[in-house]
Amino acid sequence: MLNKNIRNIMVSVAGVAVATSAMAEGNSSAKAEVYGEFRSELTRNDDGLATLNEGGKSSAMTVLGLSDVKFGFKGKFNEKTSFNLRFDTTSTDSLVDVANATWKASEMVGVTIGRDYVRQGGYSNWDNSFTNIWGERKQALAFGRNETSLSFHYSPNSTHNVTVQLVNDVMDDAATTDVKEAQYNTSHKQPAALLEYTGEFGSIKPMIQYGQYDSNHSSFFNVGARAKFGATAVTFDYGSHSAFQKVGTSDKAAVANNMTLRAEHEVGSMVPFVWFNSFNVVDKDVNGGTENKTNTTGDWDDNATQISVGSSFKNFGDNWTPYVAYRMTSGKFMPATTEKTGSEGELGLGVTGSF
C-alpha cells in the first residue's frame, strides 16, 4: 500500500511538472506553485475515560505524532481556468485530498469540478486543518470533509458569494453503521444539493449553509460568522443536522446540534486563544419517545462539551508557528447501570509549518 501511494505521488508530481512546463511554453498566462503544510505534536493524554469502568485505572500516554502532512500544486491554465491538486500523506481515506479545476465564466460566475471542500459545518469545519491546534471538534456531518462535487459560484461583487454544490448522495449500506449511512437512498437517483452564502460587512464575515441529502429526506443548516477587531479575532458557528429514518409508518429524525466559539488575541509575540464546542444529539423521536442521553462506551456519539485553552507563538519565521494547548472533553456515559460523567484531557506541545 505504501509503495502504491509513493508511486501515485511520484506520477502525479511528474505529471503536474510536465503539464506546468508545457503550459508555460504554450501559454504565457499559465503558472503554478507548490505549497504544503504539516503539524507535529507531543501529546500527553490522561486516559480519563478508563476510570468510568468499575475498578478501571487510567494509563496516561505520551505520544509524539505527525498529525498532518499535505503538499500540492495550484495555479492557472489560463486567465479563466485555475486548478488545485493536493495530497494528504497521513489520510487513511484518500491520498488525493483535493483535485479540482475552476472555470471563471465571467467576473460574477464560476464553475468548480472535482474533489473539493464540502459546504457543511461552517467556519469550524472549514478551519479543521493543520492549524486546528485547539482540538478535534465533535460533530455529526452528512458527508466527508472533501468529496467529488460540481459547484456553481455567483459573486455579484468582491464581498458576497453564493455557491450551489452538487455531491453524490449518501447511500444505504446495511453492512455498516456509519453516521453517514442513508435510510432512503438505495441507488444513485440524484445528487445531493448544498447551498452556501458568505459575505463581508466591514470586519464581520457571515456564513450560511443549508443542504439536503438521502433523497431529500434529511437536511442540515449552519449559521456562523467570523470577525476581527484590532488584535482580537472571533469565530462562531451554530449548526443543526436532522437525520431522518422510518419509524413504524412515520418519518422521524435524530437531531445533532453543534455550537462552537473561538476567540484569540495577539499580545506581542503570543496569540492566546480559548475554544469551546458543545455537541448534543436529540433522538427521542427515533427511540419511541425515550431520549438516549449517554455516549457509547469509548466514543463521543451522543454528547460532548469541549474546552481548549492555549497559545501560539509568532516571531519564529513566517512559516513556523510553535504552540501549546490544553484540551478537555467531557460527556455522559452509562458504563454499567448508572449514568456517569466522564472526561479526558490532554496537553499538546507542537509546531505547524507551511510553505
**Binned average pLDDT, 10 residues per bin, the chain of 355 residues:** 46 43 54 91 91 76 89 94 94 89 96 96 78 84 92 96 96 56 78 97 97 94 96 96 88 94 95 96 90 89 96 86 96 88 94 89
Contacts 24+ apart (CB under 8 A), 277-280: 277/124, 277/135, 277/137, 277/138, 277/139, 277/304, 277/305, 277/306, 278/304, 278/305, 278/306, 279/137, 279/138, 279/139, 279/140, 279/303, 279/304, 279/305, 279/306, 280/256, 280/304
Query: Is-above-0.95 flag for pTM?
Result: no
- Strands, E, within the chain: which ranges? 31-45, 61-76, 81-88, 96-104, 109-117, 146-157, 160-167, 192-199, 204-213, 218-229, 232-247, 250-265, 270-282, 303-313, 320-333, 340-354
User: Residue 5: enclosing H or E segment and its boundaries?
Assistant: helix 2-26
42: phi then psi, degrees, rounded to nearest 5: -100, 115
- Work out how many domains the chain is built from and give that number: 1
Q: What pLDDT does residue 130 have?
A: 59
Q: What pLDDT does residue 14 have?
A: 41
Q: What pLDDT does residue 12 have?
A: 45
For residue 96, the domain's CATH number is 2.40.160.10
**Residue keyed to cell 468529496:** 147
Q: What pLDDT does residue 216 have?
A: 92
- Reading the block at residue 268, the C-alpha cell is 506581542
Q: Which domain holds residue 172?
A: 2-354
Q: Of 326, 329, 274, nearest to 44 (Cα)?
A: 326
Q: What pLDDT does residue 134 have?
A: 85
- 331 close to 36: Cβ distance less than 8 angstroms: no
How far is the CA of 189 from the CAs of 70, 129, 177, 301, in angstroms?
Answer: 34, 32, 22, 29
Q: What pLDDT does residue 107 have?
A: 93
